[in-house]
Structure 1
Amino acid sequence: MKFDTIVLGAGIVGVSIAVHLQKLGRSVALVDRKRPGLETSFGNAGLLQREGVYPYALPRDISTWMHYAKNDSIDVHYHRDALPALAPFLWAYWRNSEPAKHAAIARQYATLIEHCVTEHEVLAREAGVTALLKPTGWIKVFHTNAAQDDEARDAERWHREFGVHYTLLDPATLQRTEPYLDPSLVGGLHYTDAVSVNDPGALVAGYAVYFERLGGRFFNGDATTLAEDGNGWRVMTQEGQVNASTAVIALGPWAKDVTAALGYRLPLAVKRGYHMHYTPQPGTVLNHPVLDVDNGFLLAPMARGIRLTTGVELAERDAPKTPVQLLRAEPVARTLFPLGERVDDEPWMGRRPCTPDMMPIIGPAPRHKNMWFAFGHAHHGLTLGAVTGRLIASMMTGEEPFIDTTPFRADRFAA
């Protein structure tokens, strides 16, 4: 079984790469241990965040650190035994979160974010899954005027610098827009350029079906069996050995397992997150994804129900689930919106692959001319999947990329 390219990883990034390569005439084997869209891409807020020009930074003020140190918040939870191993990553992350550095990172990162909606719209139309994309934007809601004022200042700066569009919602307008939210809210901020996806896993699966219609093949296989084979690569699958002249590592939080075996020392870490679905109370509806800024959780209308998502858990990637943030969030979420019964038997947990400079790794492997990297998208994997797919395919086939990819190359680290 010989192909032009092996793409390892069938999340939104890997599937998008496979689609774009197949569209450009390359024969592609897409390899993963599970069917497409069943890992990190399955569970998220379902947002294509056109406003997400500033990647999520680490807070630097002492009061926030003191608050998180108590380890009892909804938006951040940590495993104490994981902190020693995470310390080098957190230190580099903290340094890159300094305001001037963060602003410089945003200017580069925004070149990706600018295309996130349009690139998904193209793939969704070609794959026949545009019904999954809802151009409703999303809303941040506030319990205090101070929180709303802070967010409004950021939104106005992003509008001036990067063309982000938003609308401030006073209490009356917010109630008309979302009539079943807590009426005591002081207001909201609607990011109008974003697109919501009411079933992220189905979107990835739809792209994967399109990939197969284009002639690509999916294999269940073990990415850790990847090995050089002459001038190319081989990997073992349930159907036997697959060979190709080039390979792409798009394994998200598992990328380090393969890159380390190839001799790379990339500063990757994982932020874990959880979700649970609920029915809405009879006669109620949630029209937009809604983030409770003051309490640090998000509610999103999904095909399966209202999805409650948590913030960040700092832990070893494969440590057992500890969904304490969901337990903290659920009673507060019920005061924000009238949630009904739980739909899921147990909480879902996912793992976000992160770099300390908050930007993904997209481009050629520094020491293997026939190897490409595409991982480390942190909170914006779904948002940037289609953009990354087109960029990697362009670079691999000799086309001029539609943006400058230099800031995202792996060799920015001492790899």
Structure 2
Amino acid sequence: MDCQTLVLGAGIVGVCCALHLQAAGQSVILLDRDEPGRGTSHGNAGLIERSSIIPYAFPREWSRLLRYGLNQQSSMRFSPAYLPRLAPWLLQYWRQSSPDNLAKASRAMQPLIERCVIEHDLLAEASGMTGLMRAKGWIEFYRDQREFDLAVADAKTYAAYGLRCDILDAVQLRDREPNLSGAVGGIHWLDPKSVTDPGALVRGYAALFVQRGGVLLKGDARSLRQLDEGWQVDSADGVVSSRQVVVALGPQSADVFSRFGYRIPLAIKRGYHMHYASQPGAALEHSVIDAQAGYVLAPMARGIRLTTGVEFAASDAPANEIQLRRCEAIARKLYPLGERLDAEPWLGRRPCLPDMRPVIGEAPRHPGLWFNFGHAHHGLTLGPVTGRLLADMMTGKPTFTDPAPYSPARFR
């Protein structure tokens, strides 16, 4: 089978790359070892995060570093055995999180974040997936007055970015979420949207790709090989040949780019989710984030999804429920969670770069090899945006922003 472009990875990023390349007139084959939306795209908090204009930085306050170092926090935990292997990457992350570098990363990410809802709306409408989208924003709540005051001061500066929010005292917060207790106040970010089934959304976008004539195959991306005039990969239906190939494999991208000699510092932040019933008579109206404990409660099609913060551990290490249990214990004091609905916690892997921006562009030493990965906590948010940007780059169209900040060449 031949095509103009082969896209490796059928998560939100790969599916959106395939759709935008297809819309540009290319013949596209989308390949994954699993069904679309079954990996990292399946298990997130379902936020299309228009308000996240400041990337998640490494903490630099010594008091916070000390708390994290004790490894007792609900928002972050690490495997002590894995920490020595991760230390060089963490040092890069810490350096890139300096005030100047964080401001640089924020400027780089702003054009992508600004378009996230617009691009999702276009695909959701075309694919018939608008029923999965909720335009209620999300609420960030606080249990400590000092932390709340600091967050409010920060939130007021976000108006310069065109973002809307409501500052809620304890009474106003209870008006919007009557079953949420124990908070001194909250910030209701109004511009983001949420998704009640992220995996189903990705599968709906993939179905649109197939409906428009795209080909979806199963195969092993690690079989990718370069030919004199293009690329080949093995699929369950035979060998696929293409002129160009896109690596959009999220946390598995290193399995491919490292084989071609690229030393891109891609690390994994693991995270968990569990679904819960609500107690009789209780309902959660918005996605809510416990800003201090670092977990999200999101109303999903299956129930209330609790998603954890960050776990630093080997990608293939067994699941560890410590962090989930810590978050669950806190959440049960604030919201009437019912019984668990999943037999086991879901474990996902977020692909992260130390400079807090994705890799988007052509590989410096291999013409026709393109990258789109490393979206960290914002894969669902940015899949349609970066898919458009990459498709415009590959087809020679004007891009809506300068792609230089995301270039793979920055890691030469």
TM-score bracket relative to the smaller structure: over 0.9
Task: Give 1:318-357 correspondences, 5 Å limit.
Answer: 318-357=316-355
C-alpha separation between the residues in 2 aligned to 1:83 and 1:281?
A: 39
C-alpha separation between the residues in 1 aligned to 2:376 and 2:295?
A: 17
Which of 371, 394, 397 aligns to 1:399? It is 397
Point out the more displaced range, 36-45 or 141-150: 141-150
Preserved CA contact (<8 Å) 1:155 1:164: no
Aligned to 2:173: 174
Deviation at 1:113, TM superposition (A): 0.4
C-alpha separation between the residues in 2 aligned to 1:77 and 1:394?
A: 39
Deviation at 1:294, TM superposition (A): 2.2
Aligned to 2:310: 312
Deviation at 1:54, TM superposition (A): 0.7
Deviation digits for residues 246-267 of structure 1 (CA, Å, limit 9, x no counterpart): 0000000010110000110101
Helix, strand or coil for the counterpart of 1:35?
A: coil
Identity of matched residues, %? 51
C-alpha separation between the residues in 1 aligned to 2:268 and 2:156?
A: 31
Point out the more displaced range, 304-313 or 80-89: 80-89
Task: Give 1:216-295 correspondences, 5 Å limit.
Answer: 216-295=214-293
C-alpha separation between the residues in 2 aligned to 1:30 and 1:269?
A: 25
C-alpha separation between the residues in 1 aligned to 2:203 and 2:322?
A: 30
Deviation at 1:222, TM superposition (A): 0.2
Deviation digits for residues 176-223 of structure 1 (CA, Å, limit 9, x no counterpart): 1001111x3211100100000110001100000000001001111000
Aligned to 2:369: 371
Amino acid at match of 2:307: T
Task: Give 1:147-166 correspondences, 5 Å limit.
Answer: 147-160=147-160, 162-166=161-165
Aligned to 1:82: 82
C-alpha separation between the residues in 2 aligned to 1:369 and 1:376?
A: 21
Deviation at 1:230, TM superposition (A): 2.1
Preserved CA contact (<8 Å) 1:298 1:310: yes
Deviation at 1:118, TM superposition (A): 0.3
Helix, strand or coil for the counterpart of 1:90?
A: helix
Unaligned runs of 5+ in 1: none
Unaligned runs of 5+ in 2: none
Aligned to 2:30: 30
Amino acid at match of 1:403: T
Task: Give 1:378-389 correspondences, 5 Å limit.
Answer: 378-389=376-387
- RMSD of equivalent CA atoms: 0.9
Please say if 1:45 is aligned against 2:55.
no
TM-score (norm 1): 0.98
Point out the more displaced range, 250-259 or 314-323: 314-323
Which of 151, 168, 188 aligns to 2:186? It is 188
Helix, strand or coil for the counterpart of 2:156?
A: helix
Helix, strand or coil for the counterpart of 1:13?
A: helix
Count residues with an aligned counterpart. 412
Aligned to 1:62: 62
